[in-house]
Structure 1
Amino acid sequence: MPTNESSALVDTPGCRLPAAWELPTGEIPLWIERSTMPAEPPQTDDEIKRAVVDRLRAVQIPGGDPISEQLVEDVTVESGVVTFVVNFKRLDQSMADRITDQLQGAGLATPGVEHARVAAVDAAAPETGLPVTGVESIIAIGSAKGGVGKSTVTVALAKALDAAGLEVAVFDANVHAPDAPDLLGAEGPVRSTPSGSPIPVDADGIEVMSVELIAEDGPVAWRGAMVHDVVTDLLGNADWTDRDVLLLDLPPGIGEAVTTLVQQAPIDGSLLVSTPTDEGVRASERTGALLDSYGVPVIGAVANMVATDEADVASPYEGDGRSLAAEIESVEVLEDALEPIPFDPALRELQTCTFDEPSTPGETAVASITETLEAFLADAAGPEAPADAVDLRGLPPAASQRQALSEFGVTGDAPVSMLVRGEPREFVDVIEGTLERDDRSLARTTIDDLGREGWLVEFEPAADSSTPSTSEPTA
């Protein structure tokens, strides 16, 4: 490890690093640590962050510096640990490795910083399909038939889940007749992050994204590939912020937008919405069959605008909707029938509805469906990574290995948890091999498959360095 005697500064491209950090080409450092510096007055995290950002502006890269070129989207400092959130999408492998080294060097050269980490801006994105980051679960709400109140049900459930304490988002995938923004009282324009990701509009705590919020110049005739591109861009690239659930309001029919989302988006479950009519049932069967063919579980069918003696206004439809789920024969994965939603004028003004203390038949029915949805989300939730797990997802391979090895210099003999993408066996082999060459060993390595969240790898260093290393996959 670097000492006072060995930490003379040498020039390297873009920043100045201690000579002790210079390694033979191809080697991976076991840890990276700031050289000892003269004692200075204590600094707050905000002061250290400002100093780190100032130092980054002196790092030279093609076109400018990492801040002006918007490669670094965020810098956080907590208890002496600085974390850089980097947009690696714009970098090739060589530049990504160089930027990673420069950022860590700049961070560790800042007084008050004891450890530096680099994280990817799209860390939580899955490896394949349509990546949706910042969202724990996605529930699609659909029907092949228009006019069944699907958007109303979507927004009502969003408000009820929000009232239950969940962080909620709504994506309106209907590019031709978007309704969700008006029902939620959401107003544009949609703004963008420094890297160009659209920022969802906030509607009383519910994040909303819709083409309605970006098409300020009037109607747009969306066609074919345009539909595919706008849907995938607004959903997959949106800057969702730690949402527990996103409700995906599918457009009617089984067209380009619906097929794209069902095929590619990481949807956890779905709800079908239908009026108590033969036409509604047939349309729900088509949508349910599509969802089932791509392995999307159908939680249930919501009978909407049904007749009830308690409603102040008579429903235009006959029947109470109790048999609707059973009539959708092609959907074998349907669970117990959900509470029908009566024709309730109160649901026309969703912004004034109170689903935590329902007072009308419609509010009561929505609250009941919300309980079923919450139970499904709880059951569908997979294992969670420890809060202190180091997130290596999205980092270039060499950078992830360097970052992983640097963590052992911070934790000593304490276990180290890391999140990675893809099957991690090769990653584990590299880490174990590098530690072994440094005469260190691991008592245990465990691997957990977290599904679309990636893989959790936990390294437990051996108390005695002579203890042999073992790897035990748990999934």
Structure 2
Amino acid sequence: MTDETPRTDEEIRRAVVDRVREVEIMGGDPIGEQLIEDVDVADGIVTFTVDFEPVGRVLADRLTDQLRGAGLATDGVVHVRVEAAGSDAPETGLPVSGVDSIIAVGSAKGGVGKTTITAALARALAEDGLDVGVFDANVYAPDAPDLLEAEGPVATSPTGKPMPVETDDGIQVVSIELIAEDGPVAWRGAMVHDVVKDLLGNAAWDDRDVLLVDLPPGIGDAVYTIVQQAPLDGGLLVSTPTDECVRATRRTAALYSANDVPSIGVVPNMVGAAEGESTPFDGDALAEDVAEAAYAEIDHVPFDPALREPTTRSFADPVTDGERAIDALRETVLEFVETEGGPAVPEDAVDLRGLPPESCQRQVVTEFGVADEEPVSVVLRGDPDDLVDVVDESLARDGRSLERTDVDDLGYDGWLVELEAAGGSTVESAT
């Protein structure tokens, strides 16, 4: 007789999926109803990523319990976690998930080279080992895909989310250019707002370290939607050395400031010529004219045709003046992200954001069963006091108590709660 007990993580995953197909909900099973975005297995721990949006709160609790039961009923499974799809999306008007930091690149003046700077910076960051995304917010004249050699069309995930196109450099790109293949579209007002929210906010970004948003010129609907509603960590300003460009870019700087978006700095672009020719404009003075307060002074970027072909250049080993300027800009952006990005969610924290409150509480209690007397770290939305009270009551029924409770406010990323029990770490239930 053949031993069919699953042994490898992949064998366990397939067995769990088979079990989940037996669960009945919403007239079908969770996989057939496209509620399950991912099933991950590692060292006997199963993690379900669930799209709770189509189900109500009552069904969400029921589904969570059923998935936990299906997982634990599978040979080789020692623990089950349930996470909500898009749980890392900050609580803003335009939440974006799958991204650690978002940087806007803007100027109200067209023709200053925003897209060229965005594409070259994306390439430089990717060469440095970062997972990079680029969102082309210019719905009227999108050309970021051409500079990055990104080819569409954008596909959709099983749950209907736009799937970014990935370049040969590993850069993920979303642009209307990769969708509207039938020619120009007369986008207006609410249409612009909706398409930006759908493509940026709903895109299935895959664990990007940095997402660069190439803003369109002007101060129109797309710019307002992103700057006012997206969780931007900071913004770069791009300007050429003319009075008209300075005035226009100053308007973008004022928009950043009015919406509490930190200005990383001003990129004085196309200042002088490449390869040692004289520079008739002072890049530092240009930056001071555009923005009074910025994180850093940024070296000017000379006019350099090499930057029009960023995928053929190596910014890690720069040769031209333009390449060296982009390499320096990369360093500034990395420093800003590392020092000004705010508190980060620890990788070992259990993500409870997006789960119903009762499911959050039950999940934390079960975490003590596998914690091996180590502290349990979780990240959640809302006031953590109720969660701490439930855990404390559960421990009390087992003759124990919470020895330590640390709570950190992560801003729009939620609350980080670290709990440590005295005298062991096994809790039977949360009821």
Q: Secondary structure at 2:335's aligned position in 1?
A: helix
* 1:196 and 2:156 correspond: no
The answer on whether the counterparts of 2:104 and 2:235 sit within 8 Å (CA) in structure 1 is yes
- Aligned identity (percent) is 62
Name 1:178's counterpart in structure 2.
Answer: 142
* 1:234 and 2:199 correspond: yes
TM-score, normalised via structure 2 length: 0.94
Name 2:428's counterpart in structure 1.
Answer: none
Listed as ranges, the matches of 1:215-254 within 5 Å are 215-254=180-219
Cα distance between partner residues in 1 of 2:10 and 2:162: 27
Cα distance between partner residues in 2 of 1:40 and 1:242: 35
* 1:262 and 2:224 correspond: no
Equivalent residue letter for 2:275? E
The alpha carbon displacement at 1:114 in A equals: 1.3
Name 2:94's counterpart in structure 1.
Answer: 130
What RMSD in Å do the two structures reach over aligned CA positions?
1.8
Q: 2:281 pairs with 310, 319, 332, which one? A: 319
* 1:340 and 2:304 correspond: no
The alpha carbon displacement at 1:417 in A equals: 1.0
> Which range moves more in the overlay, 224-233 or 423-432?
423-432
Name 2:121's counterpart in structure 1.
Answer: 157
Structure 1 unaligned residues grouped into runs of 5+: 1-38, 466-475
The answer on whether the counterparts of 1:325 and 1:334 sit within 8 Å (CA) in structure 2 is no
The alpha carbon displacement at 1:362 in A equals: 0.7
Name 1:275's counterpart in structure 2.
Answer: 240
The alpha carbon displacement at 1:237 in A equals: 0.6
Cα distance between partner residues in 2 of 1:162 and 1:412: 38
Cα distance between partner residues in 1 of 2:419 and 2:27: 40
Equivalent residue letter for 2:193? H
Question: Structure 1 106/335 Cα, relative in aligned 2: closer, same or farther at 3 Å?
Answer: closer
After superposition, the C-alpha distances for 1:169-189 in whole angstroms (9 at most, x for unaligned) are: 110100000110111000101
Cα distance between partner residues in 2 of 1:57 and 1:390: 25
> Which range moves more in the overlay, 342-351 or 242-251?
342-351
Q: Secondary structure at 1:88's aligned position in 2?
A: coil
Name 1:26's counterpart in structure 2.
Answer: none
* 1:393 and 2:367 correspond: no
Name 2:429's counterpart in structure 1.
Answer: none
> Which range moves more in the overlay, 261-270 or 384-393?
384-393
Q: 1:366 pairs with 314, 317, 326, which one? A: 326
Q: 2:43 pairs with 64, 67, 79, which one? A: 79
Q: Secondary structure at 1:90's aligned position in 2?
A: coil
Equivalent residue letter for 1:244? D
Equivalent residue letter for 1:419? V
Structure 1 runs of 4+ aligned residues shifted over 4 Å read 39-42
The alpha carbon displacement at 1:319 in A equals: 2.2
Q: Secondary structure at 1:411's aligned position in 2?
A: coil
Q: Secondary structure at 2:292's aligned position in 1?
A: coil
After superposition, the C-alpha distances for 1:274-302 in whole angstroms (9 at most, x for unaligned) are: 11000010001100001000111111111
Question: Structure 1 42/209 Cα, relative in aligned 2: closer, same or farther at 3 Å?
Answer: closer
Cα distance between partner residues in 1 of 2:311 and 2:345: 36
The alpha carbon displacement at 1:109 in A equals: 0.7
Q: Secondary structure at 2:369's aligned position in 1?
A: helix
Q: Secondary structure at 2:24's aligned position in 1?
A: coil
Question: Structure 1 41/371 Cα, relative in aligned 2: closer, same or farther at 3 Å?
Answer: same
Equivalent residue letter for 1:272? L
Cα distance between partner residues in 2 of 1:336 and 1:97: 48
Question: Structure 1 58/340 Cα, relative in aligned 2: closer, same or farther at 3 Å?
Answer: same
Name 1:112's counterpart in structure 2.
Answer: 76
* 1:101 and 2:65 correspond: yes
Equivalent residue letter for 1:101? D
The answer on whether the counterparts of 2:91 and 2:413 sit within 8 Å (CA) in structure 1 is no
The answer on whether the counterparts of 2:106 and 2:214 sit within 8 Å (CA) in structure 1 is yes
Q: Which has the larger radius of gyration?
A: 1
Cα distance between partner residues in 1 of 2:6 and 2:187: 57
Question: Structure 1 309/449 Cα, relative in aligned 2: closer, same or farther at 3 Å?
Answer: closer
Cα distance between partner residues in 2 of 1:464 and 1:397: 25
Equivalent residue letter for 2:114? K
* 1:212 and 2:177 correspond: yes
Name 2:275's counterpart in structure 1.
Answer: 310
Name 1:13's counterpart in structure 2.
Answer: none
Cα distance between partner residues in 2 of 1:309 and 1:65: 62
After superposition, the C-alpha distances for 1:221-279 in whole angstroms (9 at most, x for unaligned) are: 11111100100111111111111111110100001110111111010111110110000
TM-score, normalised via structure 1 length: 0.85
The alpha carbon displacement at 1:311 in A equals: 6.0
The alpha carbon displacement at 1:447 in A equals: 0.7
Question: Structure 1 40/410 Cα, relative in aligned 2: closer, same or farther at 3 Å?
Answer: farther
The alpha carbon displacement at 1:332 in A equals: 2.8
Q: 2:409 pairs with 440, 443, 449, which one? A: 449
Name 1:403's counterpart in structure 2.
Answer: 363
After superposition, the C-alpha distances for 1:282-339 in whole angstroms (9 at most, x for unaligned) are: 0011000010001111111111111137368x99xx52433101112xx332244311
Cα distance between partner residues in 2 of 1:205 and 1:254: 31
The size of the alignment, in residue pairs, is: 422
Question: Structure 1 220/309 Cα, relative in aligned 2: closer, same or farther at 3 Å?
Answer: closer
